[in-house]
């Protein structure tokens, strides 16, 4: 199975409005609620791809109960979330249907006590025993030490489980020093980490800081990977209009599934980019439009930074369990 960790899980609420205007009242045309937080989005996409997935992290209060109920109803993800006394946060996305732009409001999350953290850590160690890979994803709730992803990375590596790290800021900087197998920042996070706005140079700098490989999301320009074996960039054949919320999480699911299936890097990137673009066409994070995914998969273009442009190989298709 694949394990995802979402320390700051959320109940994602998406409002759709005809046009978003400041200082006015809006009539909402559609409301959706989904289990949220980066790792839960990753878990839901992995489950849709056919991978057995377990989700852990924290959940509490009435919001946490609603999140867990939705997780049970909507996906094949196994719920291993650890209860906490505080209430799980909400995130609110307002989609402007006229422009396609999304405005996001994120609450901070519950304060985690030392006893709750110890309970989580014990559960995490047990879950690693059956894991083929683990994703450490997202922001940290109050009360959790800033070096927590570095700690969790070391625990997983001691257990022989590959680690994908997807976070930002100081947790990312400290996490890299623990040598995760793969770090997945976006372009802004990579620039903030390294001080460079040139993606290839920045990704190489991030890799020198400890990660075995770095895969950077570049928005509409696809994804860049720098590894011990080379550097590649994959891009969709055209720009996809829609809601980009959760697109990076779907890319993580593509990378993770490719990792456990031992696909070559061009194929991992092809799957990640096709899933990311297909998520832009989906109604909410943690989902992807299957028709868009199947259409884009054979048309993603991969550039080998040492060997020119090539079409991605066909092995990036539907994954096995």
Catalytic residue numbers? Answer: 249
Rounded Cα distance between 244 and 227, Å, is: 26
3-class DSSP state for residue 105? strand
The gap from C-alpha 148 to its chain's centroid, in whole angstroms, comes to 18
Rounded Cα distance between 292 and 88, Å, is: 33
Q: The tokens 């422009």 sit on which residue?
A: 99
Q: The tokens 């992807």 sit on which residue?
A: 288
Rounded Cα distance between 122 and 321, Å, is: 27
The tokens for 275 are: 């899933």
**Counting Cβ atoms within 10 Å, is residue 204 exposed (0-12), middle (13-18) or buried (19+)?**
middle
Q: How far is CA 15 from CA 33, 69, 74, in A?
A: 9, 20, 19
Kindly calculate the radius of gyration of the chain based on its CA atoms and give it in whole angstroms: 19
3-class DSSP state for residue 255? helix
- Residue 79 is inside which H or E element, if any? strand 78-83
Rounded Cα distance between 42 and 96, Å, is: 25
């Amino acid at each position: 199975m694949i394990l995802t960790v979402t320390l700051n899980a959320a109940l994602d609420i998406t409002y759709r409005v005809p046009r978003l205007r400041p200082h006015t009242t809006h009539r909402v045309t559609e409301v959706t609620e989904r289990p949220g937080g980066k790792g839960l989005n990753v878990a839901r996409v992995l489950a849709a791809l056919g991978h057995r997935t377990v989700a852990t992290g924290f959940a509490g209060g009435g919001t946490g109960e609603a999140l867990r109920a939705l997780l049970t109803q909507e996906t094949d993800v196994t719920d291993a979330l650890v209860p906490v006394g505080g209430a799980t946060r909400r995130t609110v996305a307002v989609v402007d249907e006229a422009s396609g732009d999304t405005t996001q409001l994120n609450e901070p999350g519950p304060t985690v006590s030392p006893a709750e953290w110890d309970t989580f850590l014990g559960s995490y160690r047990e879950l690693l025993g059956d894991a083929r890979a683990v994703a450490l994803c997202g922001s940290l709730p109050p009360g959790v030490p800033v070096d927590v992803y570095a700690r969790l990375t070391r625990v997983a590596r001691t257990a022989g489980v590959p680690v994908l790290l997807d976070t930002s800021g100081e947790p990312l900087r400290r996490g890299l020093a623990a040598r995760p197998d793969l770090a997945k920042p976006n372009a802004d996070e990579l620039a903030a980490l390294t001080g460079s706005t040139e993606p290839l140079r920045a990704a190489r700098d991030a890799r020198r800081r400890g990660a075995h490989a770095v895969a950077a999301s570049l928005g509409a320009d696809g994804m860049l990977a720098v590894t011990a074996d080379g550097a590649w960039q994959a891009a969709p054949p055209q720009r996809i209009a829609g809601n980009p919320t959760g697109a990076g999480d779907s890319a993580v699911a593509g990378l993770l599934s490719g990792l456990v299936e031992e696909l070559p890097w061009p194929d991992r990137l092809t799957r990640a980019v096709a899933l990311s673009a297909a998520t832009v066409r989906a109604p909410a994070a943690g989902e992807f439009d299957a028709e868009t995914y199947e259409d884009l998969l054979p048309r993603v273009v991969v550039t080998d930074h040492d060997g020119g442009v090539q079409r991605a190989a066909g092995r990036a298709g539907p994954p096995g369990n």
